[in-house]
Structure 1
Amino acid sequence: MGAGGRMQVSPPSSSPGTNTLKRVPCETPPFTLGDLKKAIPPHCFKRSIPRCVLTGLWVIAHECGHHAFSDHQWLDDAVGLVFHSFLLVPYFSWKDEVFVPKKKSDIKWYGKYLNNPLGRTVMLTVQFKLGWPLYLAFNVSGRPYSDGFACHFHPNAPIYNDRERLQIYISDAGVLSVCYGLYRYAASRGVASVVCVYGVPLLIVNCFLVLITYLQHTHPSLPHYDSSEWDWLRGALATVDRDYGILNKVFHNITDTHVAHHLFSTMPHYNAMEATKAIKPILWRVLPV
C-alpha cells in the first residue's frame, strides 16, 4: 500500500491498477483522518504489554518511543530508555525525530560521480554500516542547522530546546552505562567476544534499520510538498508499504504496515495489519496501491 507497496489482497475492479510508478496525487485527499480512524476496529488501538514483549528488542524500543507499548507514558519512557540504551541509541534524543527525504537540489556536488553501479555500491555500503551512527553523532543526512553543531548526544545542540536538555543528559547516561558494561565485559572476556556477541548483531540491526527506513520513505511515485502544499495528512500518506515476503514476519510486519503507522503512530504494531486492511478501501481512492 502507499506508493508502490505490493498488496496482500487484490484491489477492486475500480482500482487504478498496480502501476508502481504512477504518481501519488498531490491534491487534498477526499477523506479525513477521522474517516480512516472510523474504519479501523476500536480494539486495534488498545495496547497489550504481554503481546509486545514477545517481539524483538528494537520493535519494543520503537513502540515505547511512539507511546504504543503501554497506556502509561512513564512506563514507555522507562522501558524505551533501557532498550534504546542497549542499542547505543539516545532515547529522548531520537524520540521525536522524523525522516525527511532530500530534494534533488540538496544533493551534494559529488552525487553525480556516484550515480553508477560502483558508486552506488560504495554509498550503500557506507550508508548501511556507518549511516546510523554518523546520523546520531554528526547529524549526517539530517535537517541542517545554522546555529550550532547538531549532535544527538549533545544537550546544547540546536536540535533541542531548553525544556528537553535534561532528557538528553538522561539519554547520554543510559548509553554511557551500556558502554561501560561493554568495557567491563571486554576486559573480562576479550574484545573479540564483544565484537561477536554484541558488535556484529548490532551492525546487522543498524543495517536493516537504515534499509527499512530508506525504502519506507523513498519511491519515484511519492510527492514532495513545499510549504504551500503540505498538510499533516498528505505528509503522513507520503510513505510506502514494502513487501519483504517471508521477512515481513521476521520484521513483525513493521515493513508492510507503515502507512497505517504514519497515520496512527500510537497504534501497537501487532494490530497494524488489521488496521491496514480496514483502511485500504478508503486509500484506494487516491493511492496507486
Structure 2
Amino acid sequence: MSAERVHHTRHEIEVAAPASVVYGIVSDAVTWPLYFPPNVHVEQLESDGRRERLRMWAMANGRTKSWTSRRELDPEARRIEFRQELSAAPVKSMGGTWIVEPHGAAGSRLVLLHDFTVRGDSADDVAWVERATDTNSRAELGSLKELAERWTHLGDLMLSFEDSVRVDGPAEQVAEQVYEFLYRVRDWPDLVPHVSRLDVEEDDPGVQVMSMDTRTADGTTHTTESVRVCFPHAGRIVYKQTVTPALMSVHIGEWQVVPDVSGVTVTSQHRVVLREENIRRVLGEDAGVSTARRYVREALGRNSTATLNLAKEYAEKYSDGASRSVFSK
C-alpha cells in the first residue's frame, strides 16, 4: 500500500504591531484560548524553555478535537516548529512552522505553514482537514492581528480574577460532592436560580458542549455557548465560551476543587478580554474601559459566587451520605 500524500497549506497576515509582540503571543501557547477563537484549552506538559510538549483542545469544523504536540522555539529567529505526536482522526500526522517577520519597528508579517497526512488519503477526509485547517488558521491569524494591534492598551482590555468559598467536612467526600455539582450542569436550571436554560452534549467523555441562558441582576437574559473540559481526578473543569455576551470578546475560566485536611476550597477563575467597541452601546455613552471592567467583574463574580455557595450547600448537606443526592432523582 502506498504511503499517504503530504499536503501543505500556507496562511499569512500583516500585523501593525512589533514582531516581538506577535512572537510573544505565538510562543505562549497556554494563553492561546485568549487570542485564538478555535482553541479551547492548552496544557503545558513539559518545557525547558526551548522545547515543550502540549496537550491541546480546539474546535475543528464544529467538533472538539484533542491532540498532543511538541514544539521547538527559536526566539532569535522568531520561528516555532511544531509536530503533533498524537493526532486526532482523520489526521495521521500534522506539523508546521510559525514565522514572524519584522516589517520596520512597528509592523510584522505572521506566516503559518502546515503539512499533514490523512489516514487512507480519502478525498473526503483530506477536504475535511483542509477546510478545518483553513478555517482555524484564518480565525487564529485574524484574531491575533486584532488583539496584537491593540498592544499598547491590551492590558486594559484584559482582566483576570477569582472567587472562592470554603467547604468544611470530610475532604474526600466533600470534594466528590462539590465536583459532582459543578460537573452535572444539565441539572443547573433546577438548582441555580440565575440559570434559566441549559442544554449539554457530551459525545466524548469529559468534553461538554453546552448552551446556557443566564439571567442578570437587571432581569435581562444572556445566551452563551461553551466547551468544557473536565478533569475529575484533578478536581478541575476548564471552559471557554464560544458565544459570549456583548461586552466580552473572550471569556475563559476554570473551576477548581482543592482538598485539605479539614475540607476543600472551591475556586472560580475568570479571564476576559473586553469587546471595546461595544462598551458605549451596552453601558451608555459616558462609559469607558474602567466602567466595563467593573461591570464585568461584578456580574461574573456575582454569578460564580452564587454557584459556589450552592455547591457548598449541596456538598455539606449530602457528603455524609445520610441524605439522598439531588442528582439521583
TM-score grouping bracket, smaller chain normalisation: under 0.3
Could you tell me the TM-score, scaled by structure 2's length?
0.23
Bigger proportion of residues as helix: 1
| Bigger CA radius of gyration | 2
Could you tell me the TM-score, scaled by structure 1's length?
0.25
